[in-house]
A and B are shown apart, each in its own frame.
Chain A
Amino acid sequence: EVQLVESGGGLVQPGGSLRLSCAASGFTFSNFEMNWVRQAPGRGLEWISSISSTGSTIYYVDSVKGRFTISRDTAKNSLYLQMNSLRAEDTALYYCARVDDPPYSSSSFLDYWGQGTLVTVSS
């Protein structure tokens, strides 16, 4: 069974840092691109970052570029999001999600999601 379990959220002051983790199990982690998606309280979904299966290709949404760093550790089957210079507007539930891109499909998609970890940025 595919499982994604996020951790590392919490309360942090503006300007502070946090490192989120996502522990993956039930699939060959090294074969899949992984994404982070966040959801501010009462708001919609916002895609924020992607890392390829090998870790060689990374993308960010503009609002987090230069502040957030996505990474992965295949030996630990884990995905990470280092968040620096946090702002109040970064307050959200952060989800990790697996991206599948099967040969039978004309498009990739986010097929498994964790339950999220809450980040609150407040003084």
Chain B
Amino acid sequence: DIQLTQSPSFLSASVGDGVTITCRASQGISTYLAWYQQKPGKAPKLLVFAASTLQSGVPSRFSGSGSGTEFTLTISSLQPEDFATYYCQQLDSYPRTFGQGTKLEIK
């Protein structure tokens, strides 16, 4: 099974800050990676697919990059609604594993 390791697991930042979350795969997955945002009590929401393609309706301050084993999700200027937990998921092979999550908190 492919393992995904996100770093950091917790991130504290202020409104207006830029932040980057990293997702590392235990083996190469090309660009078969998606990023999701989850707020408390809500279902996950797709942000980025194919490593770098922004889902329709997602603000342009979000961006994804990477291929192979290292991927990043960057939020260029944090807004209050961005404080949430973020997950990466690989869709290269089954089981379609998720990273353990990165909780982004307000400083």
Number of B residues, CB within 8 Å of A: 29
**Given the complex of chains A and B, what is the CA–CA distance between A56 and B78 in angstroms?**
44
Q: Which of A37, A62, A107, A111 contacts B32 (CB under 8 A)?
A: A107
A50 and B31 in contact (CB under 8 A), knowing A45-B44, A109-B49? no
Residue of B at shortest CB range from A35? B96
- Which of B43, B94, B101 lies in contact with A113, CB distance below 8 A? B43
Digitize B67-106: 1 where CB-to-A-CB distance is under 8 Å, 0 elsewhere.
0000000000000000000010101001111111100000
Q: How far is the CB of B70 from chain A (nearest CB, A)?
A: 16
Among A46, A50, A107, A113, point to the contact of B51 (Cβ < 8 A). A107
A95 interface residue per 8 A CB criterion: yes
Taking the closest CB of chain A, its distance from the CB of B73, in whole angstroms, is 14
Range of interface residues on A (Cβ < 8 Å)? 20 to 34
Q: Which of B31, B36, B51, B95 has the most CB of A within 10 A?
A: B95
User: CB of B55 within 8 A of chain A?
Assistant: yes
User: Please, which residues of chain B bring their CB within 8 A of the CB of A47?
Assistant: 89, 95-98
In the complex, the answer to whether B31 meets A106 with C-beta atoms within 8 Å is: yes
- Contact status A44-B101, CB under 8 Å: yes
A46 to B87 alpha-carbon distance, docked (Å): 11
The chain A residue sitting closest to B101, CB to CB, is A44
**Which residue of the partner chain A has the closest CB to B46?**
A111
Closest chain A CB from B24 CB (angstroms): 16
Q: Are A46 and B98 in contact (CB under 8 A)?
A: yes
State A114–B33 Cα separation when bound (angstroms): 21
Q: How far is the CA of A44 from the CA of B51 in the complex (A)?
A: 20
Sample 27 A-B pairs with CB under 8 A, ordered by A number.
Answer: A35-B96, A37-B98, A44-B98, A44-B100, A45-B44, A45-B101, A47-B96, A47-B98, A48-B95, A50-B94, A59-B95, A61-B95, A95-B43, A95-B44, A105-B49, A105-B53, A107-B32, A107-B33, A107-B34, A107-B50, A109-B91, A110-B34, A110-B46, A110-B89, A111-B46, A113-B43, A114-B43
Binding site for A on B (CB under 8 A): 1, 30-34, 36, 38, 42-46, 49-51, 53, 55, 87, 89, 91, 94-101
